[in-house]
């Protein structure tokens, strides 16, 4: 048998008539049995139909205050009982009903133990889950802080490196031989790349903390802005970008702009001449699936997940310029919106980046709807 401190606490809120003494005897040794007649801090509560009216409100309060950790209540019912109580339907998303299980009297000890243990296991699992979630949130927060502090503090010395390199170039550029000229150009280029990586990291670490509230947002306007911003790249590569009619979603328009900007810019960058890019939207239940399709170089199966990690690139700097943070930022933005992002691709046969966003129509309470 387990040590007493490991036992779950079961509180008996049943009447003398309900055979409190016998139930207590049955459970003692297997559970830490509490017989106090006021609702306390137990792991599971046993009530009967006579005691239920008296304890109902206090039990409800206890169950609700313990939420999101599951706190079970079991009713012992007499066979001749006229009491009609529904049990929670696991498929239903309504607030839980108070009683989680009903056991008929006279008690079958095996059945009672099995039902109680099942509920107690669920309680432990929900406690563990909350515990890990809290730890995960904490570690996420400290990682965010670390990324923010590191990238913020790196900016200053980098600025110094860049400005002195530029000073050398301006002041002594004419006196340098070809080799020195080339070395200096590499150093300036390296510093510039590092600046862009640090800016990217900073943007990445700020997605959750500094995002605007999520509100109904028209994606057509977002994409229009993005295409304006990318006009130079579109013209240079003679890209053709076709855009479906896009929905309103619940989102942060600035972050959605960054999302589209990275994906469309990549679609053009990782293509051959005159790329074709299609932006489409398809409804899927309460979500929208937005896809950005290109006819570019494609991505190997084995690389399709890691490109969403920070600084993961499949190409050298000489082949394609970039920081390797664009898709990581996209993933973080989509995560913040409660969606998912992935890529479908065949090497040599183009890529389709797909992400989901919640439809705004449920939460959309625009008092002045457009006519
Ligand atoms: P960056 O473009 O700055 O290198 P990203 O995080 O945006 O960083 O992309 C990571 C890598 O994923 C890129 O280096 C590229 O190899 C690959 N990639 C991204 N978009 C595409 C695309 N549309 N087609 C093919 N490869 C892509």
pLDDT tens column, 300-316 = 999 999 999 988 888 88
| C-beta of residue 320 within 8 angstroms of C-beta of residue 270 | yes
Q: How far is the CA of 356 from the centre of ligand 1 (A)?
A: 19
In 3D space, the residue among 228, 237, 303 whose CA is nearest the CA of residue 266 turns out to be 237
CA angle 319, 321, 322 (to 5 degrees): 130
pLDDT score, position 370: 42
Q: Quick one: which atom of ligand 1 is closest to the CA of 322?
A: 3
Q: Is 76 helix (H, G, I), strand (E, B) or coil?
A: strand
3-state secondary structure of 47: strand
Distance 93 CA to ligand 1 centre (A): 40
Do residues 313 and 306 touch, judged by C-beta distance below 8 A?
no
CA 307 to centroid of ligand 1, rounded, Å: 7
In which band, very low, low, confident or very high, does the pLDDT at 169 lie, cut at 50, 70 and 90?
very high
CB 240 within 8 A of CB 348: no
Atom of ligand 1 nearest to the CA of 312: 10
| Cβ atoms 242, 293 nearer than 8 A | no
Rounded to whole angstroms, the Cα distance separating 58 from 369 reads 45
Furthest C-alpha separation in the chain: 105
Backbone angles phi, psi at 190, to 5 degrees: -60, -45
Which candidate, 120, 194, 129, places its Cα nearest to that of 162?
Answer: 194
pLDDT tier for residue 351 given thresholds of 50, 70 and 90? very high
Contact 122, 93 (CB under 8 A): no
Query: How many Å separate Cα 113 from the centre of its chain?
Result: 38
Query: Quick count: other Cβ atoms within 10 Å of Cβ 59?
Result: 21
Alpha carbon of 130 to those of 69, 70, 302, 366: distances in Å?
Answer: 7, 10, 33, 36
Residues pairing with 351 in the sheet: 294, 345
Amino acid 39: pLDDT: 94
CA 259 – ligand 1 centroid, Å: 13
Q: At what angle do helices 219-229 and 253-269 cross, to 10 degrees?
A: 50
pTM of the model as a whole = 0.72
Residue 125 CA to residue 43 CA, distance in Å, equals: 12
Q: Name the DSSP letter for residue 338.
A: T
The alpha carbon of 324 and the centre of ligand 1 are apart by a number of angstroms equal to 7
Residue nearest to atom 2 of ligand 1 (CA): 322
Separation CA 136–CA 298 (nearest Å): 34
Cα 284 from Cα 214, distance rounded (Å): 20
Judged against a pLDDT cut of 80, whether residue 2 lies above it is answered with no
- Alpha-carbon Rg for the chain, nearest whole angstrom, is 31
Residue 31's pLDDT is 95
Residues enclosing ligand 1, CB less than 6 A?
A: 262, 266-267, 270, 294, 296-297, 299, 307, 312-315, 322-328, 351
pLDDT of amino acid 83: 63
pLDDT tens digits along 215-248: 999 999 999 999 999 999 999 999 999 999 999 9
Mean pLDDT within 82-100: 66
> C-alpha dihedral over 296, 297, 298, 304, to 10 degrees?
-120
Q: Is 125 a residue whose pLDDT tops 50? A: yes
How far is Cα 32 from Cα 108, in angstroms, rounded to an integer? 20
């Amino acid at each position: 048998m387990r040590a007493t401190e490991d036992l779950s606490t079961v509180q008996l809120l049943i009447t003398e008539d309900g055979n409190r003494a016998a139930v207590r005897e049955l459970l003692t040794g297997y559970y830490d049995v509490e017989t106090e007649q006021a609702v306390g801090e137990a792991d599971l509560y046993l009530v009967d139909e006579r005691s239920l009216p008296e304890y109902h409100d206090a039990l409800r309060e206890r169950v609700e205050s313990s939420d999101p950790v599951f706190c079970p209540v079991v009713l012992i019912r007499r066979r001749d009982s006229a009491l009609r109580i529904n049990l929670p339907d696991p498929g239903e998303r309504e607030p839980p009903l108070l009683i989680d299980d009903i056991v008929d009297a006279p008690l079958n000890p095996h059945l009672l133990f099995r039902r109680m243990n099942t509920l107690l296991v669920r309680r432990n699992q929900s406690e563990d889950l909350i515990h890990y979630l809290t730890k995960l949130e904490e570690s996420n927060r400290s990682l965010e802080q670390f990324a923010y502090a590191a990238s913020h503090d790196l900016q200053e010395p980098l600025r110094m490196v860049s400005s002195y390199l530029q000073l050398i170039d301006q002041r002594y550029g004419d006196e340098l031989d070809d080799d020195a000229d080339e070395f200096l150009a590499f150093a300036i280029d390296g510093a510039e790349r590092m600046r862009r990586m640090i800016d990217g990291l900073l943007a990445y670490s700020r997605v959750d903390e500094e995002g605007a509230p999520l509100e109904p947002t028209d994606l057509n306007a977002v994409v229009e802005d993005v295409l304006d911003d990318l006009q130079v790249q579109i013209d240079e590569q003679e890209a053709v970008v076709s855009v479906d009619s896009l929905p309103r979603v619940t989102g942060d328009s600035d972050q959605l702009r960054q999302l589209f900007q990275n994906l469309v810019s990549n679609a053009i960058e990782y293509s051959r001449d005159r790329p074709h890019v299609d932006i489409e939207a398809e409804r899927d239940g309460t979500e929208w699936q937005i896809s950005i399709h290109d006819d570019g170089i494609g991505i190997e199966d084995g690389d399709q997940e890691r490109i969403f990690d920070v600084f993961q690139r499949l190409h050298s700097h000489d082949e394609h310029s970039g920081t390797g943070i664009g898709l990581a930022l996209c993933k973080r933005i989509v995560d913040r919106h409660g969606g998912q992002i992935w890529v479908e691709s065949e090497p040599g046969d183009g890529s389709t980046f797909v992400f989901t966003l919640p439809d705004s129509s449920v939460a959309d309470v625009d008092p002045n709807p457009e006519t």
